[in-house]
Amino acid sequence: MVAVGIWAKRDDMIVHQAEPYNAEPVRAALAGRMLTPVESFYARNHGPIPLIDPDTWRLRVDGLVERDLDLSLADLRRRFTPRTLTITLQCAGNRRSGLIGVRDIPGEHPWGPGATSTAEWTGVSLAEVLRAAGPRDPAAHVAFAAPDVSALADPPQPYGGSIPLAKALAGEVLLAWAMNGQPLPPAHGAPVRIVVPGYIGARSVKWVQRITVQDVPSGNYFQATAYRLLPAEMDPDAAGPGDGLSLGAVAVNADILRPCEGAIVSAGPVNVCGYAFAGDDRGIARVDVSVDDGRHWRQADLGEDAGPWAWRLWHSVIDVPPGQREIIARAWDTCAAVQPESAVHLWNPKGYVNNSWARLRITAR
Ligand code: MTE
């Protein structure tokens, strides 16, 4: 039994920063579980976690709409249809440590494979709320604003972001107030957060207070400047609004959750398991595992399909000869996109989207 500490997280979380709180679970805490318990769920924060009274919380919907809305939590529950979806969140910085291994990325957390987790989220469809407001021309984007002020932003500002209107109206984007059947805890956005399935976690704005329908993407620092893929040669300190590629749908990715890194195992059959995830409405079609640097591959067994928005757990038994070995895994999505072999060519100055082959060193005796 692992004790629970700060922000109701397991004591063995890998804490990249205590304040603001940024932490990921160890591989073993994610292994073999479709749903990540709240105490293991990764937490990514750019500012202090606000404590908001659910009874006084209000949501304002405005901008390019026929009518502004001003909703309480009770209004959200009463006026719209509650729904529960299994959704994986994945930070764009997930697996950044693999990029840092190629070349240092100063100032960014060295996230391992645990900046991703899956929960059952309960709330209402953003689409239904937007329809009540009535988007009007030339509406094209939906911006979210939160109260947590980030000193990391330039200039310092509250967190925000946006998604295209078409995604916002697709039905799967939630205004969620519960996670795995419990009210959202403060660290995950209480009382209400946005959950954007299939998109990088940055768009799932926590503690949301305002939704603005507009003709352009959000000008917030975390949409316009951060969470953009810069060319390798660009100086990140010189990057301004609009530089690089805006990140939305998650690229196909996978990692190994068992055995643990550096494990000493008996030579012979070894149980290997992990996760694979493909963004937007793409699914995982296949996961391959190799112990000879990709010369031979064995197809893993895919676990439960919990719908288009959830990761796919996988499992395989591979024969490991004695010696120091590297277990490799790679996933293919339903568009036949596959993870690239090496992180070398994926390196970028802010360290996003490392979806290169998963590699894990073990010793077999
Ligand atoms: N929302 C607010 N208001 N402030 C934040 O710092 N971080 C974003 C997103 N929403 C953030 C936020 C990022 S980068 C990610 S990956 C997810 O929240 C992480 O969600 P979690 O902490 O619930 O795992």
Given this model, what pLDDT does residue 6 score?
78
- Which atom of ligand 1 is closest in space to residue 44's alpha carbon? 22
Give the separation between CA 258 and CA 279, rounded to whole angstroms: 23
The answer to whether residue 204 scores a pLDDT higher than 80 is yes
Please calculate the CA angle 112-113-114 and round it to the nearest 5 degrees.
95
Instruction: Name 62's bridge partners.
Output: 212
How close are the terminal C-alpha atoms of the chain, in Å?
29
The arithmetic mean of pLDDT across residues 322-331, rounded, is: 98
Closest Cα to residue 222, out of 285, 156, 174, 283?
156
Secondary structure (DSSP) of 43-110: B--SSPPP---TTT-EEEEEESBSS-EEEEHHHHHHHS-EEEEEEEEE-TTTTHHHHHTTS--TTS--
Name residue, tokens 């000008």. 219
Nearest CA to ligand 1 atom 12: 205
Amino acid at 270: V
Closest Cα to residue 163, out of 275, 273, 279, 85?
279
Please calculate the CA angle 91-120-222 and round it to the nearest 5 degrees.
25
Given this model, what pLDDT does residue 281 score?
87
- Which atom of ligand 1 is closest in space to residue 148's alpha carbon? 3
Instruction: Specify whether the CB–CB gap between 172 and 85 falls below 8 A.
Output: yes
Instruction: Specify whether the CB–CB gap between 122 and 178 falls below 8 A.
Output: yes
Q: How many Å lie between the centroid of ligand 1 and the Cα of residue 44? A: 5
Query: Which residue from 24, 121, 162, 204 has its CB within 8 A of the most atoms of ligand 1, so it is best to mutate?
Result: 204
- Which atom of ligand 1 is closest in space to residue 207's alpha carbon? 3
Q: How many Å lie between the centroid of ligand 1 and the Cα of residue 362? A: 33
The answer to whether residue 24 scores a pLDDT higher than 90 is yes
Q: How many Å lie between the centroid of ligand 1 and the Cα of residue 79? A: 27
Instruction: Compute how many other C-beta atoms are within 10 angstroms of the C-beta atom of residue 278.
Output: 27
- Which atom of ligand 1 is closest in space to residue 90's alpha carbon? 16
pLDDT band at 253 (very low <50, low <70, confident <90, very high): very high
Q: How many Å lie between the centroid of ligand 1 and the Cα of residue 170? A: 21
Q: How many Å lie between the centroid of ligand 1 and the Cα of residue 298? A: 36
| DSSP designation for 114 | T
- Going across the sheet that includes 253-258, the strands are 253-258, 268-277, 312-320, 301-302
Given this model, what pLDDT does residue 308 score?
96
Closest Cα to residue 175, out of 198, 193, 202, 190?
193
**3-class state of residue 297 by DSSP:** coil
Instruction: Compute how many other C-beta atoms are within 10 angstroms of the C-beta atom of residue 149.
Output: 14
Name residue, tokens 């994610």. 30
The arithmetic mean of pLDDT across residues 259-281, rounded, is: 97
| Digit-coded pLDDT (tens) for 157-199 | 999 999 999 999 999 999 999 999 999 999 999 999 999 999 9
Nearest CA to ligand 1 atom 2: 206
Closest Cα to residue 254, out of 200, 313, 197, 331?
331
Query: Which residue from 21, 35, 41, 45 has its CB within 8 A of the most atoms of ligand 1, so it is best to mutate?
Result: 45
The arithmetic mean of pLDDT across residues 307-330, rounded, is: 98
Instruction: Specify whether the CB–CB gap between 293 and 287 falls below 8 A.
Output: no
Nearest CA to ligand 1 atom 11: 45
Instruction: Specify whether the CB–CB gap between 180 and 114 falls below 8 A.
Output: no
Q: Give the CA-trace dihedral at 275, 278, 283, 289, to 10 degrees.
A: -40
Give the separation between CA 248 and CA 229, rounded to whole angstroms: 11
Instruction: Specify whether the CB–CB gap between 55 and 74 falls below 8 A.
Output: no
Instruction: Specify whether the CB–CB gap between 162 and 142 falls below 8 A.
Output: yes
| Digit-coded pLDDT (tens) for 57-110 | 999 999 999 999 999 999 999 999 999 999 999 999 999 999 999 999 999 999
Given this model, what pLDDT does residue 1 score?
56
Amino acid at 266: S
Using CB distances shorter than 6 Å, the residues near ligand 1 are 41-46, 89, 91, 146, 148, 159, 188, 201-202, 204-207
